[in-house]
Amino acid sequence: MSNSIPTPKIGIKKKDECCMSKKKITAIHVSCCLLLLLIIFLLLPKSQEYDKEFKKLCKENGYEWMVMQPMNDGKIKSRETCHGCMVGTNHICNKEEFLKIIENES
């Protein structure tokens, strides 16, 4: 008769620890992605609301709203296109600039 003491299965414990660390890493990645999406979601609506308000002002004053390069007196100011209001030969992408032009016309 042998009195042997059972030895713990060390391999299983290490495997479980490995799986737990992978689960923790995955949880951290998912959390970071969700946080990034939340930040984008919170920032995005503000810019869309601003564009909607600017677009409404443009159309209410009888001008055309379009996407094109910003222009001043028919001359392109930048290669980047933008949403903006076409006032004569000016394509204005900035609401404040548009309001100044409207004030000057009054």
Residues 39-70: tens digit of each pLDDT: 776 766 555 556 899 999 999 999 999 999 99
Question: Could you give the CA distance from residue 44 to residue 52 in angstroms, rounded to a whole number?
Answer: 13
Question: Could you give the CA distance from residue 44 to residue 26 in angstroms, rounded to a whole number?
Answer: 27
Question: Could you give the CA distance from residue 46 to residue 83 in angstroms, rounded to a whole number?
Answer: 15
> And the tokens for 70?
């910003």
Residues 3-43: tens digit of each pLDDT: 666 655 555 555 555 666 777 888 888 888 888 887 776 76
Q: Give the global pTM.
A: 0.54
In which residue are the tokens 């414990």 written?
13
